[in-house]
Copies of this chain bind each other. A is one copy, B any other.
Amino acid sequence: MLNEQTDSPAHRQGDPLDPDPALLDDDSVVALAETFRMLGDNTRVRILDVISRRERCVCDIARAVGMSESAVSHQLRLLRGQRLVRPRRSGRQVFYVLDDHHIVRLFAQGLEHVQENARSSRLRRAEPAAEQS
């Protein structure tokens, strides 16, 4: 049923003073902010870090992040809801991976950004010390 949910392709067009192509439509803005919000949590970042290296079962993730399996399962459900992680059943076990290459790259880009920030902060702090010595 196509019309059960709003399926509007409507884009907020730039106003006449704005020579740019159409800005993101409201649905995309909300979905993108929700995706980032879901990623903006220390525990979920730790879980994504663990499974960004290779697929892992819930018990391995729980051990790696130092949390109970039920707490990890709860977070995995939230992450699945935003399609940030994907389960793969193998016999009795369920393994989790990052959902797709966008998420892999998104996580990697975010990490490079914060690591570069940390490096430049260290350099700025080191410079006055070096001048004093």
**Contact residues of A with B, CB < 8 Å?**
1-2, 4-5, 7, 14-15, 17-18, 20-21, 23-24, 27-42, 44-46, 49-50, 53-54, 60, 63-64, 83, 99-100, 102-103, 105-106, 109-118, 122, 125-126, 128-129
| Docked-complex contact B34 and A46, CB < 8 angstroms | no
| Docked-complex contact B49 and A23, CB < 8 angstroms | yes
Q: Report the separation of the CA atoms of residues A128 and B100 in the bound assembly, to the nearest whole angstrom.
A: 26
**Copies of the polypeptide in the assembly:** 2
Determine the chain B residues whose CB is within 8 A of the CB of A110 once the complex forms.
Answer: 32, 35-36, 102, 106
| Docked-complex contact B103 and A14, CB < 8 angstroms | no
Q: Report the separation of the CA atoms of residues A114 and B128 in the bound assembly, to the nearest whole angstrom.
A: 44
